[in-house]
Amino acid sequence: MWPKLVLLAAVLIYLALSVAGSGLAGLARRNANDKRASLYVLLADNAEQHMEAVLRRLQRVARRRAQPLSVVVIDVASTDQTAAIAHRFSDPALSIAYVYVADWPHARAEASRIADQAPADCDVRTLELRSGRPSFQQVM
């Protein structure tokens, strides 16, 4: 019985990672020759299980483009290690700013404000990393 449970757990983990990977695949499809400035706004609540993977994917995108990316992590009242992961993730390819907000309406308003203040030629992408979801979604 235990081998079947272990196999079932392994299959479920594989499926969860596959779903998360399919959401991250859109980040990898960027044109390596695109030299426009890029800004990623990550709205996150208790997203410790996804935060490092998303930041590493953005790091790979930045290195492939040979141009740094700007990332703003908007933390929506997380009680897990989301903030710690964002703070300790350091890389020359990523410029990471951290903003804490109390709820989702404030997070979306802050994301809109950041996107509105970005230069006209800047490619702005907003992603939601929400607890209870196996992946993330692009929202703007």
pLDDT in tens, 27-81: 544 454 556 778 999 999 998 888 999 999 999 988 888 888 899 999 999 999 9
Q: Which of 11-25, 84-98, 103-117 has the highest mean pLDDT?
A: 103-117
Backbone angles phi, psi at 91, to 5 degrees: -160, 140
Per-residue pLDDT, averaged over 127-135, amounts to 74
- Which of the four pLDDT bands, split at 50, 70 and 90, describes residue 103? very high
Q: Model pTM? A: 0.71
- Stated as kind and residue range, the H or E segment containing 109 is helix 104-117
User: Do residues 64 and 96 touch, judged by C-beta distance below 8 A?
Assistant: no
> Looking at the predicted structure, is the pLDDT value of residue 1 above 80?
no
Give ∠ CA 15-91-119 in degrees, rounded to 5.
Answer: 95
